Structures are given as structure tokens and as C-alpha cells.
Structure 1
Amino acid sequence: MHPTTELYGRGVYRFLLTRQWVILTLLALLLAPTMIRLGTWQLHRHDHRQALNKVINTSLAAKPVAAETLTSVGGTVAHKDLYRRVTAKGHYDTAHELVVRRRTSTDDEVGYHVLTPFVLDDGRTLLVNRGWIPSPASQTAFPKIPAPPKGEITVTGRLRQDETTAASGIKNVKGLPDRQIMLINSAQVATLLRDSGDTSATQVLGGYVELTSPAPKGGSPELIPSPQEDRSWIGLGDINLPYAVQWWLFAAGVPVGWVILVRREARDRAERAAAETAEAAEPAAV
């Protein structure tokens, strides 16, 4: 039997009990399940994106309906109605217009979204996001906003759910300049409007609408683009599925790498031990 082969049977793997290898083994045992969980999380994100794309497709393809049929005063917009095309008949209340801070244009320029109360014929109020405008030089002064059409009109837009910090990641900063907000939340905006003296804001419908028509004259405010949607197998910009596969490959590589390192270490130790044995067995020179 070859000396190296013989030493493999003499407890050469006892090095696994050393502190260095115990730590390395524990690290491998921790990394593999962690990477599996990360891959599963990415897969859930992928599934969520695909489900949302389906809702968006259905909503944008459906015929417009009256906004008040899909929401109510103090109510919420159902997930299945997200981005549903809706219409509303009434007039804008520009006297109580608000701007939403830290919003970006299609060119990623930071500015404001213009949020204008739209009073329906029955007296209820619908919040309409009329689009994006650039930030003025002063961050405390209320910006100059192009006026919407006057008098009674019919607007069309996409229905959206109320924004929250949990869902959007946007912190609802307090103490902002007058008529400036961080989140489009119908309940919070209704309270703000009433506190500012808007007596017509007693019946504010839940959610809000992203305006699509009539288009503003001169292109300002800049209308918010339709949500991007892809029909490919992973979805437009969907990196979650490739990331999931990547994490699972990493997880599979951990035990494989551990085995390779262990066998290499065992072989190197066996060869060194065999060399030392052979050297010790050589007769001393006379």
C-alpha cells in the first residue's frame, strides 16, 4: 500500500477538529441555508412582480369607469383596481393645491408632483396628481404651477392606492413648508386640507388618480408615464429571478467547495506525513 493512501486511514481528517476548520465548517453550514433563503426571497419578489404586471395589464386594457365606483370616502383602492383607468366629472380646486416633494421626472430630475383637489358634481373630492414640475430655486417657497382648465371638465387617469411609508419607503417628514407634503395619502391630505380651511374637503375619496387627459397645455406639468410592463419570461427590468438562481448556485457551491478544500488539505497533510515517515526511515549516514 502506498504510504499516502495508508495515512488516509489513520485519522488524517482529524484536522477538522482544529479551531480553524471548525470555524470554516460552521461558516459553510451558516452560508448555505442563508443563500437558499435569499434565493427564495428573490423568487417571491419575482412572483410578486409578475402578479403586479398581470394586474397592470388587465387594468390598462379595461374600459374607463367612474372613479367613484371603485373607491369611497375614507375607503381604500383594491389591489385588483390598481392602475385602473377611471374618469371623473367636476372642477379643479386650485386654491388648495399641494405639491409632493422629491419626485423625479422621466429624465430623473428631482422636483415636485402637483396634487390638485378635484371636486365632483356631487360635492365629493378626488385627489388628482397632475404631473411633475421642476423645483424652484427656493425649497421653502410654493412653486409656480401652470393652471389646469377652468370650469367643469371630465378628467381621465389611472387609479392609485394611498402612499404609505411602509410601501413606498418615503419618510413622512414633519414641519414642511406650507402646502408641501411627502406622501400622497388621502386621509392625511384630507386632514391637511380641512386644517387649512378647505370646507369642501369633508368627503375625500380614498386613493388618488394619475392624470392622463386632458393633457396640459405646453406640456407642464409633465404627465406621469404609464407603468412599464414587459411580456418576456422574466419581465422588464426583473433581475429577481436571475438573482434567485445565482443565490442557489452559490448555496450549491458552498458544500462542494468545502469538500474540495477538505480533500486538498487531507491530501497535503498525508503527503507531508508520508515524506516525514520516509525521511525518518532512512538509515543515518556513516
Structure 2
Amino acid sequence: MKIRFWPALIILIVMAVTVRLGFWQRDRAHQKEQLNARIVAFENAPVQRVGATPIALKDIEFHRVLARGTFMPDRVVYLDNRPYNDQPGFYVVMPLKLDGGGVVLVNRGWLPRNLADRTGIEPYDTPAGEVEVEGIARANASQAFELGHGGSAAELKIRQNLDVAKYAAETGLPLQPFVIQQLNNSGDKLVRDWPAPTMGVDTNYGYMLQWWGMALAALGFGLYAARRAAKKDSTGQPAQETIDGKV
């Protein structure tokens, strides 16, 4: 059976690309599994105290942390479009002025929306004086899909998203480069049933199987086409260019 050059080349290229993409998705899944294992280890590690000394995000993200200070309710930001159990609401993000100096943002929890007034805020309590906040260090308070940046403009109390660095520049506060996702209950009527970090490992494995399935399909199609071409050649049909350039 003669091998036709151009069809064979195309099949080989398709197989090489899809097999490589399958391995890439597999590697991504393994990386996410390793990250998930790190997150579990960090959450079960000793609590780290947050003070005035800046801590790099890469050194603290997903760790359990403890901070002591006073909330700054005049600087609160409400993150819009954060549903909980299919009910619309906000995340309440408030700076905590640390007792040793410095400030850290705290995602205090979820607050249901006032359905009668879209910009109205349901009442909740903010502890007066010094408080202790225990939680998980996160890169941000939660990231929601946003078209443009108008919904997160400076000075708005209700925003779609909140970037820590931009908020520090906006307010002049000496913020730590992370947000504490509060876990301990301070009797403030806020919900702290936080969603677990989503790694999307199953999605990567699904794509891996899809790419490898496409490689097998390309191989099967190539073999089928080669057999059909061989039958045509054997019945006297004009032969096409082969891999050695002969006809």
C-alpha cells in the first residue's frame, strides 16, 4: 500500500498537535492538584499573625491568618452581584486598622440585598473597638465578571470588584497586599459560608481526553482513507502522488 505524501503529512500534524495539547492539559491538571494539596496544607498549618510589616502575597496566600485591630466602617466597600443560595447580595469588604500599624482589607461576609432598593444596604453590625479577625489570606475579596471598569470606579461604595493595589492608591491606606476572608463569627449578621477555591481539575482532564480522542480519530481517518485509496489503485483508478514522489 502506497502512502500519499500530503494527506499523510496533514494527518501526522493533526495528531502531533492534538497529542501535545492533551499532555498540556494533563500537566495543567497536575499543577492544580499540587496547588490544591498546598491549600489544604496551608489551611491546617499554624495561624500566621498579620502586623504592620508587609507580607508578600506569594508568602501568605491561602494561609490561615490572625489580625487584631479596629474596623474602619467609613471605608467600607460592597461588592455587588454576589449571590448566596440563589439570593442576591453583597460581600462586605472593610479595612481593619491593625493595632501595631498598617491596614488589611477584610471580607467580612455576605449580606442580602434590599430587594426594594437596589442601592439600599440592609442593616448589619460592626464591632466597635479592637477586634480579632481570623481567616484565610486571599489575593482578592472575590472576582466577578465585569465588562469594562465602570462598575469598579473609585469612590463608589457599591462596586463589582475591588483591586487591593488600586484601593490602596485611592485611599492612601498602607494596605497589606491581600484580603482576609473572615472565618470567625463576630455576631454581625453576616454569612461566612465561603465557596471552596475552584481548581477546575476535572475540566482539564476532560479536555485532555478530548484532545487525545481527536488524535485517535485523525489516525483512524487516515487509515480509512489510505485503505480506500489502495482499493482505488488496485482497480485501475489513477494514482495520486506518493510519499516518494512517484506515481
* Fold match (TM-score > 0.5): yes
**Rounded Cα–Cα distance in structure 1 between residues aligned with 2:38 and 2:116:** 40
1:208 Cα deviation from its structure 2 partner: 0.8
Q: How does 1:238-253 map to 2 (within 5 A)?
A: 238-253=202-217
One-letter amino acid of the structure 2 residue matched with residue 50 of structure 1: E
Give the one of 56, 59, 73 matched to 1:76.
56
8 Å CA contact retained: 1:76, 1:162: no
The Cα shift of 1:148 comes to 2.5
Pair 1:112 & 2:76 matched? no
Q: Which residue of 2 aligns with 1:88?
A: 67
Contact 2:113–2:121, Cα closer than 8 Å, also in 1: yes
**Is 1:259 the counterpart of 2:223 in the alignment?**
yes
Task: Indicate the residue corresponding to 2:150 in structure 1.
Answer: 174
Post-superposition shift, 1:28?
2.7
Deviations 1:193-214 (A, max 9, x none): 34xxxxxx2x211111000012
Give 1:114-263 correspondences, 5 Å limit: 114-137=92-115, 141=119, 143-162=121-140, 173-174=149-150, 176=152, 178-194=156-172, 201=173, 203-217=174-188, 220-225=189-194, 227=196, 238-263=202-227
Partner SS state of residue 154, structure 1: strand
CA distance in 2, matches of 1:163, 1:88: 16
Unaligned runs of 5+ in 1: 1-7, 195-200, 230-234, 274-286
Structure 2: stretches of 5+ with no match in the other structure: 238-247
Structure (1 or 2) with the larger CA radius of gyration: 1
| Code of the aligned partner of 1:86 | V
Question: Structure 1 pair 124/145, CA: closer, same or farther in 2 (3 Å)?
Answer: farther
In the alignment, the residues of structure 2 paired with residue 263 and residue 126 of structure 1 have an alpha-carbon distance, to the nearest angstrom, of 69
Distance between the aligned counterparts of 1:62 and 1:247, measured in 2? 38
Q: 2:45 aligns with which of 62, 71, 96?
A: 62
RMSD: 3.4
Q: Out of 23, 26, 30, which is 1:47 matched to?
A: 30
Q: Secondary structure at the match of 2:183?
A: strand
CA apart distance, 1:182 = 3.3
* Alignment TM-score, normalising by the size of structure 2: 0.77
Write the mapping of 1:262-273 to structure 2, written as runs, cut at 5 A. Answer: 262-268=226-232, 270-271=234-235
- Are 2:14 and 1:31 equivalent residues in the alignment? yes
What residue is the counterpart of 1:5 in the other structure? none
Question: In the superposition, relative to structure 1, how do residues 138 and 152 fare at CA in structure 2: closer, same or farther (>3 Å)?
Answer: same
CA distance in 1, matches of 2:226, 2:167: 63
- Aligned-pair distance for 1:160? 1.1
1:101·1:180 contact (CA, 8 Å) conserved in 2? yes
Q: What TM-score comes out, normalization by structure 1 length?
A: 0.68
Between the aligned partners of 1:270 and 1:206, the Cα distance in structure 2 is 73
Counting matched residue pairs gives: 235
Mapped contact 2:111–2:122 kept (Cα < 8 A): no
Deviations 1:212-264 (A, max 9, x none): 012544xx4221426269xxxxx986232343244224313312320222212
Structure 1 CA distance for aligned equivalents of residues 187 and 141 of structure 2: 24
- Following superposition, the deviation at residue 64 of structure 1 comes to 1.3
